[in-house]
Amino acid sequence: MPPQIKRLALLFAIFIGLFFVARHFLVPKSFGEFGHYRGLSLAENQALTPKYAGQKACADCHQDMVDLKSPNVHKSVSCETCHGPGLAHVNSTDSILPMWVPKEREFCAVCHTKNAARKAGNIVQVIVAEHNPGQKCIECHNPHNPWKDLK
């Protein structure tokens, strides 16, 4: 056997040894407890506080808004998509915690601005800079029912 094979084999053994030492310190303790992931991550995710209530919860107090929106073009856009997470608002007892009420053009533009990278037809797009500039969208479109009483 040529002498360099022995030296190479020794080097390999050292590297494999180093790999196991590094692995011992780098792999988190709970890895593999339940499967090929960190077991503790389950408890960590369970401990997160929920922030969204879901549209059903809004209907308890805002049935009028649900009725206005549901048969209409914005039916697929959930209340909290526009008003932000609402669980704290729903659960507030002493004084009602405020919700976010986005009134600026920029907000509607997030979904409706003309964007060549977006599939046309999924969401009707307008060139926001040219579509009735200088006025808020909600001065003409009811956000809960955009074609209702259009001014």
Q: What is the footprint of ligand HEC within residues 7-46 (CB under 6 A)? A: none
Is residue 69 part of the contact set for ligand HEC (CB under 6 A)? yes
Q: To the nearest whole angstrom, how small is the minimum distance from the Cβ of residue 47 to ligand HEC? A: 23
Are the CB atoms for 107 and 82 separated by under 8 Å? yes
Q: To the nearest whole angstrom, how small is the minimum distance from the Cβ of residue 50 to ligand HEC? A: 12
Spell out the residues 6+ positions from residue 54 whose beta carbon is closer than 8 angstroms to its own.
78, 80
Tokens of 143: 């956000």
Is residue 104 part of the contact set for ligand HEC (CB under 6 A)? no
Q: To the nearest whole angstrom, how small is the minimum distance from the Cβ of residue 24 to ligand HEC? A: 48
Dist. CA 137–CA 143, nearest whole Å: 8
CB atoms within 10 A of CB 57: 17
Residue 131 carries which side chain, given as an amino acid letter? H
Dist. CA 147–CA 76, nearest whole Å: 15
Count of residues engaged in binding ligand HEC, rule: CB under 6 A: 52
Is residue 148 part of the contact set for ligand HEC (CB under 6 A)? no
Tokens of 62: 């805002």
User: Which is nearer to ligand HEC, 27 or 124 (by Cβ)?
Assistant: 124
Which residues here bind ligand HEC, judged by CB under 6 A?
A: 53, 55, 57-58, 60-62, 65-66, 69, 73-74, 76-77, 79-83, 86, 89-90, 96, 98-99, 101-103, 105, 107-112, 123-124, 126, 128, 131-132, 135, 137-141, 143-144, 146, 150-151
